[in-house]
A = this chain, B = another copy of it.
Amino acid sequence: MSSNNTISHEIADILRDEILRQRYRSGDRFPSERDLAARFDASRGAVREALSQLEQLGLIHTQPGGARVQSVNSASLAVLGPLLALDDHPDPLLVDQFLQTFSVLTSMTVKNAVNAASPEQLTQLKQLLVELANHSDDIEAMQPRWREFLEAMSTIADNLVVRLIRNDLKAQFVDQMMKRGFQPDLKKGSTDRLLTTLGESLSKRDGELASKAMQNYFEELRGTVGKALRFNSEGHRSEQFSGA
């Protein structure tokens, strides 16, 4: 998990998962710090630091007199990762929701980047696209280049809000999937089509076109990933999930 190997993080991880697994109902009283200290055989200070993390996640609310459990719906974005990691198989619905969200944000970024890029940045982007095209056969090799390309787009678009959201989502989700060794096997045609259209949009400086291309790509990705996950969750443990 995300845990540092400190006691307080361990405690936080355990309690967080218990809350996410609905072991306490929203509004319930949370065990007192002294009880938790006894339960985990730790000092109250360590427990307090753990509770501080849970409070930052929006999972509990502490007040003199007692802490109370809050609804997951009102939690912070940072609970997504733990939520996905709760079971062996990630929840297909949640994954799909993630992809859809990531799609609209990425499309927006791409659109703004293409429209706002300086001539130098345009050539840089084209260069990265060529790099990608050169490795379109090897998904492994494309991964870091995609990252670089999207990072460049993100820098050019220069929208801090989206950047922060994508930070969180990436930390919560992408890394989670990577750790599980998940590799979506998109047909090569889809990727090639995306690369071509992106190149075209760069030449024409047509952000809308780039955005649409990105959306279509994610649409296909959602289909593929959804199929793989559903197949997987039916018990046919595929090799796509090697497990951390």
CB-CB nearest 6 A-B residue pairs: A56-B56, A97-B159, A101-B161, A97-B161, A77-B164, A52-B52
A57 to B167, CA, bound (A): 12
Chain B CB within 8 A of A174 CB? no
Chain B CB within 8 A of A98 CB? yes
Which residues of the other chain, B, contact A78 by a CB distance below 8 angstroms? 56, 76
Q: In the complex, which residue of chain B has the Cβ closest to the Cβ of A164? A: B77
Tell which of B45, B74, B161 touches A80, judged by Cβ atoms closer than 8 Å.
B161
Chain B CB within 8 A of A37 CB? no
Which residues of the other chain, B, contact A169 by a CB distance below 8 angstroms? 161
A108 to B107, CA, bound (A): 12
Tell which of B53, B73, B159, B164 touches A160, judged by Cβ atoms closer than 8 Å.
B73
Given contacts A77-B77, A104-B108, contact A97 B160 (CB under 8 A): yes
Given contacts A97-B159, A108-B101, A159-B101, contact A164 B75 (CB under 8 A): yes
Is the contact region of chain A dominated by helix, strand, or loop, or is it mixed? Answer: helix
A101 to B111, CA, bound (A): 13
Q: In the bound complex, do residue A161 and residue B94 qualify as a contact, i.e. CB atoms below 8 Å apart? A: yes
Chain A contacts to B: CB under 8 angstroms: 45, 48-49, 52-53, 56-58, 73-80, 83, 94, 97-98, 100-101, 104-105, 107-108, 159-165, 167-169
A161 to B77, CA, bound (A): 7
Given A76-B168, A80-B161, A101-B108, 9 other A-B contacts at CB below 8 A? A52-B56, A73-B163, A74-B167, A76-B77, A77-B164, A97-B159, A100-B159, A101-B105, A105-B105
Tell which of B53, B83, B98, B160 touches A56, judged by Cβ atoms closer than 8 Å.
B53
A61 to B185, CA, bound (A): 36
Which residues of the other chain, B, contact A161 by a CB distance below 8 angstroms? 80, 94, 97-98, 100-101, 169
Tell which of B98, B105, B163 touches A104, judged by Cβ atoms closer than 8 Å.
B105
Q: How far is the CB of A60 from chain B (nearest CB, A)?
A: 13
